[in-house]
Amino acid sequence: MLIIPAIDLKDGACVRLRQGLMDDATVFSDDPVAMAAKWVEAGCRRLHLVDLNGAFEGQPVNGEVVTAIAKRYPDLPIQIGGGIRTLETIEHYVRAGVSYVIIGTKAVKEPEFVTEACRAFPGKVIVGLDAKDGFVATDGWAEVSSVQAVDLARRFEADGVSAIVYTDIAKDGMMQGCNVEATVALANASRIPVIASGGIHNIGDIQKLLDTNTRGIVGAITGRAIYEGTLDVAEAQALCDLKYKDE
């Protein structure tokens, strides 16, 4: 299981939101490239970038920052979400050196777009499912749909989606632990690997994910916890490595 540091971009700065609310943002750095360097030096093996402005506007806004990070670390897998609604945007990011693009809102509203994207960019597409009480939210979490996360995940099994990033909105940014039960249920319901997201507070939360022995959970995204120092990236990754080494 990979520990994946999150860099959320708002107006060119690195921020964290609480429950996805743009007006409840904490700025942690005005230099996202330097922040990426910090997590790389800590030993991370993948980065999770989110264009928060893009998520609300429906098109990339912080693309230059994403490109700068990708160029700085060409060998580091980077996944980017937020405002990815066209094949042209995906092509732009792939050309910039990004390893994976995360399709969220468009995946819910137009699932056939995921099929099309996977066909055009095989191995590059991740679906982001952000849920509230099990139902998928869209448009920067501003709208909650009538679609259940588990049902949508199954819909994408045949498309060749690389992974699903599953976020429980109620947990995100609150540092009260992730929704382990819902994450495990999603991983067990679909053949697509799941990356847990939202609410991770400390090493104990990582241990809880590992204790489920759910092979389908391949990563855990962490944001506020590593910025506020309640979770150490290197320590958390070492714990994950030890778990799978023992097995």
Comparing C-alpha atoms, which of 76, 8, 5, 66 is closest to residue 33? 66
Known catalytic residue: 241?
no
Predicted pLDDT of residue 90: 96
Known catalytic residue: 8?
yes
Name residue 219's amino acid: G
pTM of this prediction? 0.92
| CB-neighbour burial class of residue 34 (10 A; exposed 0-12, middle 13-18, buried 19+) | exposed
Predicted pLDDT of residue 31: 95
Predicted pLDDT of residue 244: 72
Q: Residue 244 phi/psi, 5° resolution?
A: -85, -20
Predicted pLDDT of residue 198: 85
Within 13 A of 90's CA, how many CA atoms are on the CB side? 23
Q: How far is residue 117's CA from residue 25's CA, in Å, rounded to a whole number?
A: 31
| Mean per-residue pLDDT pooled into runs of 10, the chain (247 residues) | 96 82 83 96 96 88 94 97 94 96 91 97 95 78 80 93 89 68 93 93 95 95 94 97 76
Q: How far is residue 172's CA from residue 180's CA, in Å, rounded to a whole number?
A: 13
Q: How far is residue 57's CA from residue 98's CA, in Å, rounded to a whole number?
A: 21
- Of 23, 31, 51, 130, the catalytic one is 130
- Of 8, 51, 159, 168, the catalytic one is 8
Report domain extents, the chain: 2-246
- The domain 2-246 having CATH identifier 3.20.20.70: the answer here is yes
